[in-house]
Amino acid sequence: MARPIRVLYANAVYHVTARGNERKPVYRDDADRVRFLETLEEAVERFGVAVHAWCLMPNHYHLLLQTPRANLSAAAGWLQLIKYIHLNPARPKDKRKPIPADRKGPLARYRWSSHRAYAGAERNPPRWLCLDWLSYFGRTRREARVAYRRQIGRMFGQVVRSPWEDLRHGLVLGGDALWEKARRLLAAAEGDEEIRWRRRAEAEQVARAIERLVGDEADYRVAIWARVRLGGEPMTAVAKDYGYRDGSGVHRVVQRLEEKSASDPALARRLRALTAKVSSVKS
């Protein structure tokens, strides 16, 4: 099995999550959950990572970890992720629906997450749990916990927006500076997974560029040609967007447009201009 992508550097923050095979339970009972937390405690002691939030669900878990020598001033952008992790036990199966108001009680009683520690409902939270980020909710622990409970309370009756909607190239949750740092680190790595990831990221960048270029294109045939010839999209995927039964219809559009460009200088110039613009993105 190929080694998974790792972007490793001091001060990095990671959302670690894993799900059971075939979505089956990963814990047999509460004793299993306790053993998992004991193992997590051992990892904290051995590697010096900071655990900022955690939540154990029947068939998956979430951890919000920070590497050693962390600078907490960079943590503010992750507060949305803390709330997302803690609200997991209350969210409906259909994640597009709002959190039911009657889930407030079960969430407050849920033992297997760090929510109760943040809310101040747990007298003796695990000593390995880092609660430093509470300071972003208020100046004192008391003020912070009141503000945290208030913010969590406001989420009921609303749809919890998934942080994965802001995931950049399937890897980074953050702004331009973080993305550039991760991109530079991955560019220097030569593992198979990093190489495949870079190719996917480049393909996504080109696809977005083509989408912008042909967004106002009056001639749908030119848009199809650009997506297929310049973006390398499968003809079957493009066919669905334009109402064709299969990729053969798209193939005919592309072929006929190229044949026409041979005798239509204006069309040939348009295709060359699009090619040049996309080539500048690739370079």
pTM of the model: 0.61
| CA–CA dist 149, 227 (Å, integer) | 48
- Count of CB atoms within 10 A of residue 267's CB? 18
* pLDDT tens-digit map of 121-171: 998 999 999 998 898 899 899 999 999 999 999 999 998 887 766 666 666
Residues 6+ positions from 147 with CB-CB distance below 8 Å: 137, 138
**CA-CA distance, 165 to 28, in Å (whole number)?**
32
Q: What are phi and psi of 185, to 5 degrees?
A: -65, -40
Q: Which residues in the chain show pLDDT less than 50?
A: 1-3, 5, 70-77
Find all residues with CB under 8 Å of 252, minimum gap 6, and list them: none
The burial class, CB within 10 Å (0-12 / 13-18 / 19+), for 134 is buried
Q: Domains in the chain, ordered, with CATH?
A: 13-166 (3.30.70), 192-282 (no CATH)
pLDDT of residue 207: 73
